[in-house]
């Protein structure tokens, strides 16, 4: 009997990719905290997960020719990166609020680690099932 990794890991693969992309965006925000006119960005996680789950099953775009643009060739999570609205914008046009970005980065890193631990647990379970015993 074949094991489908899509059934084992579910949407967590897309969640891990999304969390990694969000961490990169938040790190970019922090790195540009002093750049004039830099606009802070973030990802709408719920919209991105809806987009990921829609493209992985029912509702997937069907192409009739190999030259057609696929939904995966558009960069993954398109349209879910949003500009952050600052509570206190700076005079130089920069919208990065360091305390907000640091808190978001810490939360994102924690969520990324939690998703990795899920993968680790599932992987150990599969390995134990293949070996035929629990270690």
The pLDDT tens digits of the residues spanning 68-106 come to 555 443 345 557 889 999 998 899 999 999 999 999 999
Kind plus residue range of the DSSP H or E element containing 83: strand 81-83
Domain locations along the chain: 11-56+74-131
Q: How far is CA 43 from CA 21, 22, 47, 81, 131, in A?
A: 8, 6, 9, 4, 40
Query: Tokens for 75?
Result: 């960069």
Q: Is 7's pLDDT higher than 70?
A: no
CA geometry: angle 34, 32, 15, nearest 5 deg: 150
Token pair 């004039």 is found at 36
**What is this structure's pTM?**
0.70
Give the pLDDT confidence score for residue 72 in this predicted structure.
45
Answer whether 25's CB lies under 8 Å from 43's CB.
Answer: yes
CA–CA distance, 27 with 36 (Å, rounded to integer): 17
How big is the chain by its Cα radius of gyration, in Å? 19
């Amino acid at each position: 009997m074949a094991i489908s990794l899509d059934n084992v890991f579910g949407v967590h693969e897309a969640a891990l990719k999304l969390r990694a992309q969000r961490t990169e965006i938040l790190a970019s925000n922090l790195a540009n905290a002093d750049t004039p006119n830099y606009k802070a960005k973030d990802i709408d996680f719920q919209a991105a997960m809806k987009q990921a789950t829609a493209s992985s099953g029912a509702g997937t775009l069907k192409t009739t020719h190999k030259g057609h643009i696929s939904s995966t060739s558009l960069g993954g999570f398109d349209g879910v990166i949003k500009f952050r609205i600052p509570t206190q914008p700076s005079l130089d046009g920069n919208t990065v609020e360091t305390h907000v970005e640091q808190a978001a980065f810490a939360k994102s890193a924690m969520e990324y680690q939690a998703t990795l631990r899920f993968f680790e647990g599932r992987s150990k379970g599969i390995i134990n099932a293949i070996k035929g015993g629990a270690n």
